Structure 1
Amino acid sequence: MSTPWAELLSRPAEEAAWDMLGCTIVVRDEAGAVAIRLTEVEAYSGELDPGSHAYRGQTARTAPMFGAGGRLYVYFTYGMHWCSNIVCGRPGSASALLLRGGEVVRGIDLARSRRRAARSDRDLARGPARLAQALGLTGQDSGRELAVGGRAELELAPPPRRADVRTGPRVGLTGPGGDGTTFPWRFWIDGDPTVSTYRPGVRRHRRRT
């Protein structure tokens, strides 16, 4: 992968996360281009990580995660939303960064047309489903490589100061994968208004009969 971001995305997701904050993901189609500066990401680490889709091994859906870093992994959730990840690491590692939040910096009119329910511009990409919708990403993009001038690409930027980055438990996970001590793998720029609200996972108990 001979691209400007090759070195960054060859690292495990939990290491690359620090330097992905502040970078911009750009997605183009016939309607135009939307660019989002990333302010919040979550790292997942394959078969060593009970919070990862790839924890139990490779499936048809998770196959893009097992490829080389620098491609997209897009999945459908709750029967209604797409969420997007950037794959990191070496082939076989199944390491990926969930794109949780960001600021639309170009193509804001197109993003607004896709996110008509947004109450303000800060909410256009505040949360992983909103971010994917603003970019126009769907399951057809899963496995797509980031490419300079292609449908999707990454624009690098100087990372924020470490003092301005916060880490903590990932959103909505229970059990070992939600353990913020073992996996404090949500990374965000402190004080940025486009960072999503943290919500812990909710355990569902089967009703006794």
Structure 2
Amino acid sequence: MKLVGLYFGTFNPIHIGHLAIANHMVEFSDLDEIWFVITPQSPFKTKQSLLDDHHRYQMVFEALQDYPKLKPSKIEFNLPQPNYTINTLVHLDEEYGNEYQFSLIMGEDNLKSFHKWKNYESILENYSIYVYPRISEGRIEHQFEGNPKIHRIDAPIMEISSTFIRKQHKEGRNIRPLLPESVWKYMDEMNFYR
């Protein structure tokens, strides 16, 4: 059975920080693959600045072409919105439970607010969580310290954000080095975020 890490996000756009973290996770943990789950609507974000789902999927698809252990996933596109992780996990287990064992990938910032997620206790009971570090996030909430389902991975700290990329691009600054070349080309051709 393959161990699959689920890396959820809007990926608006996907950038080199996402790739560096996912690649590190798949190379330096027991995970066999990482699926980039493109989220149509996060319960914690507004949809106003989001590109259409298929454009974000296409950018993720383009970015992952040279990484056979990293896969794009549009599994949430046909699920009820807003997307709750527990619903996606249940759906994936029903669909692929015989082939794959799923885990979550998240930054320390998300782990700090994990207790606010819908059915977080059930997620923690049934799935492992692989956590990568973030700057200035402080200690993990005490209820998660020492939990055997939480695996800290000493991944590189990447402080690049899609929000920063969109803002700087709109202001005419060169953000090309922060994106995979194929994503930059797609974004530029489609005239996104201007």
TM (norm. structure 1) is 0.28
- TM-score, normalization by structure 2: 0.29
- Please identify which structure carries the higher strand content: 1
